[in-house]
Amino acid sequence: MDHRKSCYLALSLLIASATTQARADGETIAVFTKNQTNPFFQTVRVGADNMAKALNAKILHYIPTKPDSIPEQLSQIEDVVVKKPSAIVFTPVDYKAMVPGVEKINDAKIPVVNITDRSAGGKFVSFIGADDYSLGLETGRFLLKTLGGKGNVVIIEGVKGSLTNVDRVRGFNDALKENPGAKLLASQPGNYQRLQALQVMENLMQSNAQIDGVLAANDAMAVGAIEALDGANRKALVIGINGTKEAIDAIKSGKLLASGDYNGFAQGCLGTMMAIRSLRGQPVIAEIVLKPTVITKDNYQPFDVSLEQRTCPSFEDASKLGAK
């Protein structure tokens, strides 16, 4: 946020910021994320930065200039392999298409930790991620429980074919199966986009007089759906996934019922931690799948702090967070 404030004062700092890279004497960790636009990946990056600071390492961020561009992330991998960072923390823009990239990293013998989306191939020091299926299932269950196990529900899907979307929607559907009293009216894609979700919701409200619950595959779409409901003066319970700041605010004000915590901050922290630990010859945890937490009006307080103020979990915490 302070980044933005400074900008509000002087837009011309653009070039200056280019030269203010944090310097550290320790290892160089290259962190790959999918895009610069989705708030979730910002939480990942801040987590990684925090952990690196604590462990005295240096972070370099690699983000495709076109959001989620496969060829660009592949090019970035090729460029980074030349640069030979000490280790890599890697979120594939596509879990299948990036496999050749991971293999390139493996060939260069650079240790790599996989976070967020589980890559379909390649060798990793560790995997840190959340369980999209359980997130979908748990948030879905929470919504249906609040509805009393019945009512009309719609699903707003993310980008078709993306790993997160497939699992989250599967979770939603399984939660619906457990509650035969609830009826699924429609399942339409909003491509993880706010505006599209809003328009999809507006259109769905036209063909469905009564909608009681909305299961959105991410927070931006959930908030878009809420705006659509507000615009039409209709009420429905809405849940999202990711636990972004925006979602926390909406939960606080009672607009959003709940959000599944995807915990990008912890993913960034732990990914970086595992990378550095492996470089330093310390034991690492091969796989951490963060347990799903449903953030609701009752438990949002710990999440309602700015990213910079959050602290990374310790290694001991990490083993408790969901080691298998």
Q: Which of residues 248-277 bind other proteins (CB under 8 A)?
A: 249
Binding residues among 115-154 for other proteins as defined by CB under 8 A: 120
Determine contact, residues 152/310, Cβ cutoff 8 Å: no
Residue 86 lies near other proteins (rule: CB under 8 A): no
Residue 14 lies near other proteins (rule: CB under 8 A): yes
Out of 26, 36, 184, 310, name the contact with other proteins by CB under 8 A: 36
If the CB atoms of residues 185 and 285 are measured against other proteins, the closer one turns out to be 185
Return the half-sphere exposure (C-beta side, CA atoms, 13 A cut-off) of residue 166.
Answer: 7
Residue 8 lies near other proteins (rule: CB under 8 A): yes
Out of 56, 145, 195, 280, name the contact with other proteins by CB under 8 A: 195
Out of 83, 145, 235, 297, name the contact with other proteins by CB under 8 A: 83
- Using the structure block, give the residue that is written with the tokens 């980044």: 3
Residue 61 lies near other proteins (rule: CB under 8 A): yes
Residue 184 lies near other proteins (rule: CB under 8 A): no
Out of 224, 240, 243, 260, name the contact with other proteins by CB under 8 A: 224
Whole-number Å distance between alpha carbons of 186 and 155: 6
Residue 7 lies near other proteins (rule: CB under 8 A): yes
Residue 11 lies near other proteins (rule: CB under 8 A): yes
Out of 10, 23, 109, 161, name the contact with other proteins by CB under 8 A: 161
Residue 41 lies near other proteins (rule: CB under 8 A): yes
- The site that binds other proteins (CB under 8 A) totals a number of residues, namely 80
If the CB atoms of residues 145 and 160 are measured against other proteins, the closer one turns out to be 160
Residue 317 lies near other proteins (rule: CB under 8 A): no
Residue 309 lies near other proteins (rule: CB under 8 A): no
Residue 289 lies near other proteins (rule: CB under 8 A): no
